[in-house]
Chains A and B, each alone.
Chain A
Amino acid sequence: MPNRRAFLFGLTAATAAAALLSGIGAARAADPVRVALIMTGPITDGGWAQLAYEGLQALKAKGFVTAYAENVAQANLVQVVEGYADDGYDLIIGHGYEFGSAFLEIAPEYPDQKFFASTFKPEGEAPENLGFIDLAYYDASYGAGALAALISEKGKAVGFVGGGDNPTQQRMMACFVAGAQLTREGVKGLGVITGDYDNAGRGSEAASAMIANGADVIWHGANVTGLGAIQGAVAGGAKALGCYSDQTSVAPGTVGASFVMNLGWMVEQVGDSVAAGAFKGGEEWRPKVTEMWSLKAGEHGDHDSALISEEAWSAFQKIWSGLGSGEIEVSKLAP
């Protein structure tokens, strides 16, 4: 036992000395900002986590010191975040709704470090070193509904396939429906919440069911379920719109355009703001939908003109910029 205690003491002393030394070293160097990105999914998910990870890589290329943790289980979330905080990371980004309330508790314990959760700000006060973001889901959903209605051949209906059953997905569905119905008269906005982000069979069947009810354009807000929805559109001969990442290559000739979420840009912006000492905490950052989302269609540029006519595209552009400038207020249009 004494041996072990002595060893532990030695270890602590050595660690303290190392910390002191590295502290001096860091002060002498140009003080690169250290950023940690914590994700609940894998960085190869082809969307949510992967896009943020690409932003982190961009920061690394700019000279930031970066670290990341992926596939972090809900149960370990707090320990992992505190681990990076104890290691002295200047900025810790929690990527997902799971981090919202967890950060509210952790951030006050590390007042000199910055925290950023890529989710809505929860109710109540937030500390100055903790930031949140409104990712403009609803404006984007309205825009997707509008574009879907504009490119519908039959002009009867368009459909949304949702993932997990939560308020965000429900609201995305409502905004998609409003966007479709207010943009083109006679078009009905349909929607199905599948209850699962990762069940391709359900996604495909949800799309098929809506196609059977007259829908000929399908949009989605889910991961593997969304891939299934696109395959459902292929099987039913409908058009599809991608979501989160550029999904043109998933089904060329079916996916007319994708609503790509600029999560890499978000990570870079937050990193840069910390480097510049301009980090804004205690509130929700509200980028415009035209900043947070962009339209992409692989090699076609921003849309595939074989699936989206020039007329429809220019009508959509008007709505999209209206959403960006705030002329179209989705909160007032969608019930």
Chain B
Amino acid sequence: MDVDFALTAFLTGWLAATVRLAGPLLLAALGELFAERAGVLNIGIEGVMLLGALVAWWAAWSTGSLWLGMLGGMAAGLTAGGFLGFMYVTAQASQVVVGVIFNIFALGLASYAYRLILGGASGAQTAVMFSVLPIPLLSEIPFLGPILFRHTPLVYLTALVAAGAWFVLRRTSFGLNLRAVGENPRAADTAGLDVTAYRYAGVLISCVAAGAAGAYLVLAQVGQFRETVVSGQGFIALAIVIFGRWDPLRAAIAALIFGAADALQLTLQIFTSGVPPQLLLALPYLVTILAMSGLIGKADQPESLMVPYSRE
């Protein structure tokens, strides 16, 4: 009986942590999916997340409103998306080069702006953060309640965004057209679709989502801004898109698997003092690499990913 109780407690803790860790990664991945489905590999989301995190922190800190912070992060994403869209789609620059350079630029910009905002003041600022909002009734369900329904509002919103993304991509003409543009832009163009507009839409959606994901990190996890607050999580989101085979629901599962591996290694370290942590630390990455290599075919990749399109 006691063992059962301990096991339940362990599972509940582990799975709830899984959901929390997967949240921001999934949000960024869902947006990236739209860009890639339209044929644009937006590596710049790492930098966009950082800018979103900065503006979200600044807006929430100066106004005291968390939702204004969230909106600020998304607005930062939209602005960055306008620039990135121009480079990817209109200027037809190499998507990899633009994305990588943008990430470096964003780091410099964020550092500079952060310093201007602080104005020389040093020390930590009091945190601005979302608190946990248990859903009435549902959160009381044994086992499932604490895992799924005792989180910050951002977790629930991310779940809604995942469902919405699936619906838009699979069940609306906008989604169908977007996918057509990513598969065969020439045919889509011939059929009368505005390839440029759809690709801009994909890039803008991915950047708004990345800005929101950056805001998520600040407003639900740290409560402060630091230049290192994103540090590679945008790249993990890129991996989750591939891992999830360019599909919102499978991306959600991929993000949960990554989060589960991550949460598991943290928990296992407490119990297994003998096992070298290096082994456990590699777990989430090992799972991702395994999932991405061989097990998943390239068949689902949008045919024209990374190929700029121009009318003759």
Whether B266 lies near A250 (C-beta < 8 A) is no
Q: Which chain B residues lie closer than 8 Å to A212 at the CB level? A: 9, 13
A198 to B114, CA, bound (A): 17
Of all chain A residues, the one with the shortest Cβ separation from B21 is A201
Binary interface profile of B, 217-252, with partner A (CB < 8 Å = 1, else 0)? 100011110111101010000000000000000000
Count how many chain B residues have C-beta atoms less than 8 Å from C-beta atoms of the other chain.
38
In the assembled complex, B24 has its CB within 8 A of some CB on chain A: yes
| Interface status of A45 (Cβ within 8 A of chain B) | yes
CB within 8 Å of B: which of A201-216? 201-202, 204-206, 208-210, 212-213
Is there contact, CB below 8 Å, between A224 and B123?
Answer: no
Separation of A42 and B122 alpha carbons in the complex (Å) = 13
Structural contact, A50 and B231, CB atoms closer than 8 A? no
Interface pair A201/B118, CB less than 8 Å apart: no
- Report if A247 contacts B (CB, 8 A): yes
Instruction: Tell me if A192 and B231 are in contact (CB < 8 A).
Output: no
Count residues of chain A with CB under 8 A from any CB of chain B: 44
**What's the least CB distance linking A33 to chain B, in Å?**
25
The CA of A200 and the CA of B227, in the complex, are separated in Å by: 13
Contact A199 B231, CB 8 Å, known A45-B226, A231-B129: yes
Q: How far is the CB of B154 from chain A (nearest CB, A)?
A: 12
- Contact between B228 and A200, CB atoms less than 8 A apart: no
Interface SS majority for chain A:
mixed
> Quick check: is A245 within 8 A (CB to CB) of the other chain?
yes
A206 CA to B270 CA in the complex, in Å?
9
In whole angstroms, what is the CA distance A35 to B233 when docked?
Answer: 37
A198–B231 touching, CB < 8 Å? yes
In angstroms, Cα B270 to Cα A213, docked, is: 9
Judging by beta carbons under 8 Å apart, are A224 and B115 in contact? no
Q: How far apart are the CA atoms of A110 and B118 in the complex, in Å?
A: 38
Tell whether, in the assembled complex, residue A205 and residue B269 are in contact, meaning their CB atoms are under 8 Å apart. Answer: no
Does more than half of chain B's interface fall in helix, strand or loop, or is it mixed?
helix
* B277 lies within 8 A of chain A by Cβ: yes
Knowing A245-B123, A245-B124, A250-B127, say if A193 contacts B281 (CB, 8 Å): yes
Closest to A247 in B: B124
Closest to A71 in B: B111
Q: Which residue of A lies closest to B125 (CB)?
A: A249
> Across the interface, which residues of B come within 8 angstroms of A256, CB to CB?
none
CA distance in complex: A210, B266 (Å): 9
Within A239-270, the residues touching B (CB, 8 Å) are 245-247, 249-252
Q: Which residues from chain A contact B190 at a C-beta distance below 8 Å?
A: none
- Nearest chain B CB to A169's CB is how many angstroms away? 10
Other A-B contacts than A46-B122, A165-B278, A192-B269, 7 sampled, CB-CB below 8 A, are A45-B228, A191-B270, A199-B233, A201-B24, A206-B269, A231-B221, A249-B126
User: Can you list 26 contacts pairing A with B, beta carbon distance less than 8 Å?
Assistant: A42-B111, A44-B115, A45-B226, A46-B122, A46-B226, A50-B122, A165-B277, A170-B277, A192-B269, A193-B281, A194-B266, A196-B231, A198-B226, A198-B228, A198-B231, A199-B233, A200-B217, A201-B24, A201-B221, A205-B20, A209-B263, A209-B266, A210-B270, A235-B132, A246-B124, A249-B126
B-side interface residues toward A, CB under 8 Å? 9, 13, 17, 20-21, 24, 111, 114-115, 118, 122-127, 129, 132, 217, 221-224, 226-229, 231, 233, 262-263, 266-267, 269-270, 277-278, 281
